[in-house]
Each structure stands twice: as structure tokens, then as C-alpha cells.
Amino acid sequence: MQEKTQDLTGVWNGLYSYPDGRSVTFVATLIESASAVTGSTHEPCVGAHCPAATLFANLVGSRSGSAVTFRKTYESAGPHYRSVDYAGTLNGEATEIEGRWTIPGVWSGKFLMIRPEREATKADEQVAQRA
């Protein structure tokens, strides 16, 4: 059951910060399978060249122990929105991922993703009782 509670699969609320102090909230849906991490995000567009009020992106990455990395690639967002690399550390309760985002050669900043603590489902409890 420990492995299940450490799985990254779920909905995460996040915040990333620019070097100039601006911050943007986002929601990420992650799916972890073995060491692969995939998913998607949506966030408000705050830039000067916004193609839409909400930006959507796909995530592809991996996890090794507490190290989590992924690349966020915006969907149909135009030339001002590039792929962004994220590298963070998962806390012991698997409720926070904190680290840095980078647009190579352009700039970088900090990010934090949080989800509520996961409770064991009834199925998990039944399996644990039978073991």
C-alpha cells in the first residue's frame, strides 16, 4: 500500500514564479506508470501575446525516487510559448513537488505543486486486511 500512496497520479494545484516576481497558478493532472509521468496542465495566460485566456499543455517526463522531471509543451499557443522543463523533488508524504522550471537559454524560476494527502481507498484497505 505504501507504493500506491507515493504514486503521482492525481490532480495537483501549482504555482510558478517568474524572475521578476510575477506568479501564475496552474492545475496539473498527472498519471504515473512505472517511472513514466504524463499528463496535462491548464493555466491563465498572463503574457503580452496571449493566444487565449487559458493555455493548455501536455506533460511528458519521469520519476526516480523523489526526483521528478517533465517537459511541458503548450498546445497551439503560438511562437511566444515554448516548451518548459521542470525538475523538482517530491516530499515524503507525496503531497508536494518543489523545484525549478527552465526555458533553456531564456530564463527560469521556481515552482510548487500541491495535492491533498491521499487516503487509502476501501479497495486498498480490503487488500491490506486480507494480506
Which ranges of the chain would DSSP assign to H, the alpha helix?
2-6, 122-130
Cβ atoms 39, 24 nearer than 8 A: no
Domains of the chain, residue spans: 2-130
Distance, CA of 58 to CA of 53 (rounded, Å):
17
Cell 521528478 belongs to residue: 68
Locate the DSSP E strands across the chain: 10-17, 23-33, 36-44, 54-64, 67-74, 84-90, 96-103, 107-114
Residue 129 forms beta bridges with which residues? Answer: none
Each residue's pLDDT, cut to its tens digit, for the chain (131 residues) gives 344 458 999 999 999 999 999 999 999 999 999 999 999 999 998 877 788 889 999 999 999 999 999 999 998 766 667 799 999 999 999 999 999 999 988 889 999 999 987 655 544 555 556 66
Q: What is the pTM of this model?
A: 0.83
SS3 call for 127? helix
SS3 call for 125? helix
Distance, CA of 10 to CA of 125 (rounded, Å):
19
Pick the CATH number of 2-130 from 3.40.50.150, 2.40.128.120, 2.60.120.260, 3.30.300.30: 2.40.128.120
